[in-house]
Structure 1
Amino acid sequence: MQNKITRSVSEFNTELKLKGFNVFQIESDGNATRNYSRKDFYKICLTTGESIIHYADKSFNAEGTVLFFGNPHIPYSWETLSTSYVGYTCLFSEEFLKSDRSESLQHSPLFKIGGTPILKITVEQRDFLNTLFQKMITEQQTDYAFKDDLIRNYINLIIHEALKMQPSENYTNINNAQSRITSVFLELLERQFPIETSERPLELKTAQDYSNALSLHVNYLNRAVKAVTGKSTTTHISERIIGEAKALLQHTDWNVAEIAYALGFEYPSYFNNFFKKNTGTNPKSYRLDLV
């Protein structure tokens, strides 16, 4: 196989964090799957071999070629059963892929809780998808100024090809109450965004706010979300508010105080402290670094 990984894990992770994207070829011994298993980015894997994939509260016996879509908000793991395990993996942040016209990846049937993240692939489909992954690897290594746009197009093409496929019949769906509650919570969380005007501030800001909106006890909501995603309700809310804060700092001319009020903070100082706690820098410095 060409374009094998020779970088260290630390080099790979540094590059991924800076660019918001990386793609690589999985070695025949499966080392790439183990060593480069970042789960804080969205992931698309095209693999050939035998394995068991655990995703949230479901398991999938994978034989032959499968296409897998990983959501960083949902825990998953691999058990590689065959000695020969090859393919490709693409990692990317939602910010890298998302455009003004696109909706959150969490709404996609391929990435959302209760969706269909694993698809069985025919030989013809595998050959076509192999070509797209190879093009991304090649483009990633060029100096072309608009290579990120090309790579986004390849990722979107893979996603659209997958949406046209039927879900695998070997996928065991356990639609329990915790998964349903978590799915509804994440959908309600995403509905609060984007913030389009500073005159209509964020309404739901805490785990208690969401439990009230869903008519659930806050402890029950927290247990369900933690069990399915591995993260607390508060962590999900904080991460989404930080993501929106970064977008407003980058794409609007609102001052920091306006952004603070729009995100539901009573005082700008509260927002400054919240932003620095979660990012390591203050909003003003973050905006200046973008220039």
Structure 2
Amino acid sequence: MDKIVNIKTVGEYNEHWGVENRHPLVNVFEGSQITRPIPNCRKNFDLYVIFLKDVKCADYLKYGRKEYDYQENTLVFVSPGQVFGYPADGSTYQAKGWCLYFSPELLRGTQLGRHIKDYTFFSYDVCEALHLSLQERETIIDCLKKIDDEINNGMDKHSNMIIASAIELFLNYCTRFYDRQFITRKKANKDILARFEELLDGYFASDKPQSYGTPSVAYCAEQLHLSANYFGDLIKKETGKSAQEYVQQKIMDTAKDMLANLEKSVSEIAYALGYQYPQYFSRAFKKVVGCTPNEYRMAE
């Protein structure tokens, strides 16, 4: 059986690594500081954890149900409640790269605490990790060193606020670098958009709307083998619309084509598109198109 170890506190994760408890709510270290092999195990975190693997190696890790082979200069983000690690089979590994981890308690009352959910990459799948250029890697390591320096300075009434601000700066750089990654993967993103269109076309050409309703963003992301947050961010970057807005527009474009067939009533079209009640369809259509389905038919 694949045993999962629950890591609830920074202190427990320090014990796992065999490092000093310098601060009860946060820690950062570079892999060379870990001098002993670490037993493999899968971990369920109550912490935010960020790994920077800055050398290519053969460390295969399971993240949720997926396996991932780290590439050089890769950042992976884990949020509270996520499972990460390799099954406990008696094997060990040598820590490499950097690791930053902190408790949600560190963020309480801070600006970062109020906006931590805006950093959607904490919910990306591990295969959607951030791959850094050498210059970006230097910037990230500089941020990690500043956090490390502040932890070493000892605790006073300003410590938590300053450390949280330093982590926020680190995450803002990650946001910038993810934006760069979306841009440099334009071709791959265009391919995903084309597959997204094909997925929606196929959905409405089938009987799925009557069985499952209108397609959700989560459903589309799953069919495209992407996390919902990564998929949503990709669609926003490529089209300027949220994934939900894009799906809604596709539904209404399909509805326009169907309204051209006067043999079908508005109610029949609503059910064919996956709406449980025709009035919900009419309301959504007017919101997007600017008129009711019947008014659209008359204008046509």
Give the TM-score category using the shorter length: 0.3 to 0.5
Q: Which TM-score applies when normalising by structure 1?
A: 0.45
Structure in which a larger fraction of residues adopt helix: 2
TM-score between both structures, scaled by the size of structure 2: 0.44
